[in-house]
Each structure stands twice: as C-alpha cells, then as structure tokens.
Amino acid sequence: MHTLLSRVNNASAFMSSCMMTLLAAIAISSFFLGSQPTGEVGISPVKVFAAKGRRHYSGKQDAAFVNFNVTADLAPLFHWNTKQLFVSLEAEYTNMHGVQNTVVIWDKIIRRKQDAQLHIEGGKNKYAFREVSTSFKDVSPASYALKYNLMPYVGVLQYGEIARTSDDVPFPEAQAKVAS
C-alpha cells in the first residue's frame, strides 16, 4: 500500500493539482484587474502615390502614406499577469466595391510599465498601406483606431480599443512620384 512509488505518485498528483488551481486563479484574477487606458490619435492629411504593386501584379498600385500623432497612457493595463501589450494603429474604410478593409499601419510591443507612456509625434506607417482594388480613388474616408492586445503570463488574451479619430480622414487624389 505505502510503497515509495505510491507516495511519489500521490505527492506529484497533489502538487500538480495545486499548481493548476493557482494558475486558474491567476488567470481569472486578470479579468478584474486592469482598467480602460486613455489616449488620443491624430492623423495629418494622408498622401497617396502611384507605386509598384504587390507581388504577382506588375502594374501600379496606390500606396498611402500616413503621418500620425499618438499619445496614450497604457499603465492601467499593467498588472501582475501582464506579459506584454501589443499596440496597433489601424485604418478602417470601405472601398468602392463595398469591401470592408482593416489595415494595421503601425504597431509596437510594450513589455514594461515604465514604457507604457506613448508620445509619438510625426510617426510614419510601418507597413505598406495599399488598396486591394489598386486605387484609393472614390474610397470612403478612413477611420483610424489605436487598439491593444493584452498578452498574459497565463490565461486569456484580451483585446480593446484605446482611442479613435473623431473625424474620418479622406484619401486625396493619387500623385505621381516626383523625382527629386
């Protein structure tokens, strides 16, 4: 009955169930910790150029260039179960064919509470911002939103929105690249 093997078995089973309970408690606690962060997004007038297309398509495809200002205080999202924050600036618009587009133009990973204050002025889009139908002509003005994804040490991933532009930003007429 009380062999070494059964003792080891019992002890390790008890330890692993304690561990699981603790992990579950931590995972559940993160639903109650943390509060809504505050921030602001400002977009300067967007520029559109006729550029080289995406792969497989050799023709021209419009590329938009966005300058933005972002201020945000993300410290409220940091608690004991916050491993990192993934913050992204996204453009949302509908094109002339009725296709709804959401495109991430900039992102940042924040790992420490000390770095949770964002002050970005004159930021540029990090990823190419192209329209699937190749042209931004007759496309509805875009709304820009700053969003976060909280990634925990253990538990459920949480998503949310920090700020959004109050007015939609229109796309201008495409200009040919000026040789400088």
Partner 1 sequence: MFSESLRDFRRLGFRHVLLQVLNFASVIASGLMMWKGLGLITNTESPIVVVLSGSMEPAFYRGDLLFLTNPASEQYKTGDITIYRTGDRNGPDIPIVHRVIETHDMPLCAPESFAFTKPTRRQPKLPAQCTDKVPRQLMLTKGDNNYADDLELYRGLDWLERKHIVGKVKGFLPYIGYVTIAMNDFPQLKYALLGGLGLLALIQRE
Residues pairing with 150 in the sheet: 85, 158
Region of 138 on the Ramachandran plot (φ > 0 left; ψ -120 to 50 alpha; else beta): left
Scanning 44-52, 66-74, 145-153, 170-178 for contacts with partner 1 by CB under 8 A, the matching segment is 145-153
Terminal C-alpha separation, the chain: 87
Q: Which is nearer to partner 1, 11 or 19 (CB)?
A: 19
Q: Which is nearer to partner 1, 71 or 133 (CB)?
A: 133
Q: Contact between 22 and partner 1 (CB under 8 A)?
A: no
Contacts (CB under 8 A) with partner 1, residues 102-121: 102-104, 107, 109, 111
Scanning 34-42, 44-52, 68-76, 152-160 for contacts with partner 1 by CB under 8 A, the matching segment is 152-160
Angle ∠(23,29,31) on CA atoms, nearest 5 = 125
Cα–Cα dist 21/28, whole Å: 10
Scanning 38-46, 79-87, 113-121, 169-177 for contacts with partner 1 by CB under 8 A, the matching segment is 79-87
Q: Which is nearer to partner 1, 147 or 169 (CB)?
A: 147
User: In which residue are the tokens 């770095």 written?
Assistant: 115
56-83 b/e with 16+ CB inside 10 Å = b?
eeeeebbbbebebebbbebeebbeebbe
Residues at the interface with partner 1 (CB under 8 A): 23, 27, 54-57, 59, 61, 83-84, 86, 88, 90, 96-104, 107, 109, 111, 127, 132-135, 147, 149, 151-157, 159
